[in-house]
Structure 1
């Protein structure tokens, strides 16, 4: 069918906005428009229909019609036509679609127009809070407490226990004495005091990181609360799949089959998804906000860092798909830059 005719047909479809960033397109397709696709539909069906005495793809058309009916053949023809026509529909109605469409045949009869309804999700209109640049002021950085002598001693005690020698039966393990020689077995330390100083420094740095993470969490929470947008279901579902995939990965580390885990917790995967749905919604909402900020402020991931991270990832995951990996790395690095902006700190290059 010529492009001009497809464009005219697309123009005849009615466009309707629905809640949740969905668009509905509805209209009728003339029978003569579908007719040229019937032969291709029969060939396609012939490859998937099993009939005694015929190889796949060699079943005669009339036998296919006798077996499944003319309406089933028309359904296949409509599906093939819509693969071509869907793009024209989007272009004609200026729709920036996300994900796969839901195409429903509402009315179908040989020789009559086909009634079609297409539902598709569009990227939502994202409006940032007016004061988003000052969100960092709403979450002050709590000063991290210093490492205490007690915490250092507890760490030392754990190190001694990890290197304890087994005692005789019913006897307590024998802990090594806290000497300079012991310190040397832990790392590049010459004395116990050097070991303690390093432990104290490490605990302090960990507390600082925890304080910064806590502040970042508060900023994210405030940003999400101030965002006035209904997150499309397809975005939430995508985050849900990521959460479940991560859960499966975590469970696998303990050599526990996923089905066994579900039995232990007494839940189905669908129930788990419902429990995680709000978390998924917030994650999707945050990503929409970060994308919008990056767009407005022209924030991009550092190209050299992207290449370095991709190279590193492929060394550990050689089967990863390069295109998807690049998108993931660019998103993570760009998100980090935006979050640094929200925190009011210097953006690391």
Structure 2
């Protein structure tokens, strides 16, 4: 292999003209012969036993050329990329140049490469940061959530009413025939949860254990096609009615669900938790706003391959999320009428923002000479082991050191930006702009190289922390949750 030329093109692409000489091509032809000879019929020879010269004599010396080119290309291309010290970021487009003979062939490969990045301002920035406030109502909501988790369901001998849970069997009939998805047994249905089709729960109200009833329902027009707007009958049998037994909010409750002896101490701890969570959210928003400025300030010719690759990664993440919800991806596309091409197209804009963020972080790492020491890596491994409750050696087995190093360097790069930045009130944001909405998603601050998700492992902001429990008390039975609507 020899590189005849290496030309830089626009949008961070490189055109390589590569020659595969006779010796390398001859070796590829021999491999092509051994690979395909079993598929070629030659009179007088069993499949795969005909000599190469016989086959070439019958079908021409070029009979193995196409396969030989496919065999020779990857090695020649990879060798050329290594020789020219190129950091390619996608697959090349390939064009055969001239005629292919036994003396070899020449091809042109146009490949996207990692772009040259010029940083804009990344120090001395300012961004809005929310002021953390905690009201008594915030504490009450957190306490209510804790109360709900420790509420029991107890059987009652009376008619079911809103707020109760009815344990029922049901089967739906359309024109006297049962329909798919309309049957359930021993289903716990919370009345008022609106988890069933409208009108169903209201008619279950008033039933007692042992009651049977036919419920007439008309499905909404926007229901899925088979049942949209159809009138059906559900045959329902009630096995049990349960009501919520809510624990009293007193010192005994505090002792039962936490490490505290009084309700006042528990409330104080919940107030502290809310404040800490909101401070984390505010800091995360502040950092995201700063890094967004840095990402938008870079100058780089970003190859389409990088954006397309990130868009495909977003789509793959979406497929995983859909699958985790129990919805097959193809079924989701059918239900929504969305084409995969549309999903990919919609992902292009956030993908571009993510790529810019990755490039900005990597450029800061380079500009600042940021490194991850062995001590940094060991400390990060220890942190991950504690976070996930895993053995240290097991964590090292599943998460490569290079991944951990990348994550550490990425974090240090963000710290460089944040450490020199100024926080301002939201209404005093840069250029008079309002602070970004809390629900707006920002690109993740990570280098382009794929990271182990464990290394990213932050607890979601919305997740509530339970106060530490005392071993002396037994946790109250938690409320049962109704299943999703059938």
Change (3 A) 1:255 1:219: same
Alignment of 1:49-198 (within 5 A): 49=39, 54=46, 58=49, 60-61=51-52, 70-71=61-62, 73-90=64-81, 93-110=84-101, 114-129=105-120, 131-135=121-125, 138-145=126-133, 147-166=134-153, 168=156, 169-171=159-161, 172=163, 173-198=244-269
Say which is worse superposed, 246-255 or 180-189, in terms of deviation: 246-255
Aligned partner of 2:304 in structure 1 is 233
- Say whether 1:305 aligns with 2:372: no
Deviations 1:297-334 (A, max 9, x none): 12123221344367678959x99996974333222222
Secondary structure at 2:300 match in 1:
coil
Structure 1 residue runs without a partner (length 5+): 1-5
Higher strand share: 2
Higher relative contact order (CA 8 A, sep 6+): 2
Aligned partner of 2:7 in structure 1 is 16
Contact 1:310 1:326 in 2 (8 A): no
Contact 2:377 2:401 in 1 (8 A): no
Aligned partner of 1:3 in structure 2 is none
Secondary structure at 2:322 match in 1:
helix
Q: How far is the alpha carbon of 1:105 from its aligned partner?
A: 1.9
Deviations 1:100-132 (A, max 9, x none): 433332444546873421112222111111x21
Aligned partner of 1:34 in structure 2 is 25
Q: How far is the alpha carbon of 1:54 from its aligned partner?
A: 4.5
2: distance between equivalents of 1:70 and 1:160? Answer: 82
2: distance between equivalents of 1:74 and 1:319? Answer: 49
Change (3 A) 1:336 1:264: farther
1: distance between equivalents of 2:37 and 2:314? Answer: 41
Larger radius of gyration: 2
Deviations 1:153-188 (A, max 9, x none): 122223323333436342553322111111122111
Change (3 A) 1:307 1:58: farther
Aligned partner of 1:223 in structure 2 is 294
Alignment of 1:225-304 (within 5 A): 225-301=296-372, 302-304=376-378
Secondary structure at 1:155 match in 2:
helix
Say which is worse superposed, 287-296 or 73-82, in terms of deviation: 73-82
Higher helix share: 1
Aligned partner of 2:475 in structure 1 is none
Say which is worse superposed, 75-84 or 226-235, in terms of deviation: 75-84
Say which is worse superposed, 28-37 or 250-259, in terms of deviation: 28-37
Contact 1:314 1:320 in 2 (8 A): no
Change (3 A) 1:151 1:239: same
> What is the total number of aligned residue pairs between the two structures?
330
**TM-score, structure 1 as length reference:** 0.80
Say which is worse superposed, 211-220 or 248-257, in terms of deviation: 248-257
2: distance between equivalents of 1:249 and 1:217? Answer: 25
2: distance between equivalents of 1:105 and 1:37? Answer: 16
Structure 2 residue runs without a partner (length 5+): 164-243, 422-486
Q: Give the alignment's Cα RMSD to 1 decimal.
A: 3.5
Aligned partner of 1:332 in structure 2 is 407
